[in-house]
């Protein structure tokens, strides 16, 4: 696959270890959900290197010093429903005060095209650094549409975080939105005829919420 400047694959032993367990068909809902949160936290640590900061004065037990802190209210988390909900707590671990918006989309099983059914975003999101969450980047249709929606609302700083990506989806998002940084925990082989990632892990939403 072509290398895109706005795409980062986070190749880390801890992430690879957790994804191996995540893929296993015998991994139960509770453990699956915990693993998604843990992987997201590891990804957030890397992907938020450029989070807005400010300089503050701190008094230690020995002296005063200047220290960098994250600007309050500068980060917004936007999961793509429903599977993206499983990643929210993973980001909140590092940014507990981050506002949360929601974009609801489902995939038409015949056309494989995304259909929007819900959107609720925090006030002032256009001034925040927005991280869009979805465990699976398959065809890239939902991600592209969600990014376009955020841009329409005035968002200028957008990141996309996916646990698993397919080359087809990565290509679509990277080329359609070169100004959006994409972070993927692992890059899989391809999509099958039904638009599922191979080897993948099945339906992330069903496995997160125990609906199958």
Judging by DSSP bridges, how do beta strands 102-107 and 114-120 pair with one another? antiparallel
Q: What is the full DSSP assignment across 47-97?
A: HTTT--EEEEEEE-SS-EEEEEEEPTT-EEEEEEETTTHHHHHHHHTT-TT
Q: What is the pTM of this model?
A: 0.90
pLDDT per residue as tens, the chain (212 positions): 678 999 999 989 999 999 999 999 999 999 999 999 999 999 998 888 888 899 999 999 999 999 999 998 899 999 999 899 999 999 999 999 899 999 997 767 777 677 788 899 999 999 999 999 999 999 999 999 999 999 999 999 999 999 999 999 999 999 999 999 999 999 999 999 988 999 999 999 999 998 87
Cβ atoms of 135 and 164 closer than 8 Å: yes
Cβ atoms of 166 and 144 closer than 8 Å: no
Cβ atoms of 182 and 6 closer than 8 Å: yes
Helix or strand or coil: residue 41?
helix
pLDDT at 125 (0 to 100)? 95
CA angle 101, 45, 123 (to 5 degrees): 20
Catalytic residue IDs: 107, 111, 203, 206
Q: What is the full DSSP assignment across 104-161?
A: EEEE-TTT--EEEEEEE--TTGGGSEEEEE-SEESSSHHHHHHHHHHHHTT--EEEEE
| Domain residue extents for the chain | 7-209
Give domain 7-209's CATH architecture. Answer: 3-Layer(aba) Sandwich (3.40)
């Amino acid at each position: 696959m072509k290398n895109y400047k706005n795409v980062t694959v986070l190749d880390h032993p801890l992430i690879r270890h957790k994804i191996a367990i995540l893929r296993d068909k015998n991994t139960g809902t509770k453990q699956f959900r915990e693993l998604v949160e843990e992987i997201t936290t590891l990804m957030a640590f890397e992907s938020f290197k450029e989070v807005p900061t400010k300089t503050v004065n701190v008094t230690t037990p020995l002296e005063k010093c200047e220290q960098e802190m994250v600007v309050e209210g500068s980060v917004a988390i936007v999961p793509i429903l429903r599977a993206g909900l499983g990643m929210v707590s993973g980001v909140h671990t590092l940014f507990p005060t981050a506002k949360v918006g929601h974009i609801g989309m489902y995939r038409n099983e015949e056309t494989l095209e995304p259909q929007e059914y819900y959107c609720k975003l925090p006030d002032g999101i256009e001034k925040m650094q927005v991280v869009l969450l979805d465990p699976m980047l398959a065809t890239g249709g939902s991600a592209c549409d969600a990014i376009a929606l955020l841009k329409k609302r005035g968002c200028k700083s957008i990141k996309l975080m996916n646990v698993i990506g397919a080359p087809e989806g990565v290509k679509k998002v990277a080329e359609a939105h070169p100004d959006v940084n994409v972070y993927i925990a692992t890059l899989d082989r391809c999509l099958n005829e039904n638009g599922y990632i191979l080897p993948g892990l099945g339906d992330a939403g069903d496995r997160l919420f125990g609906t199958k």
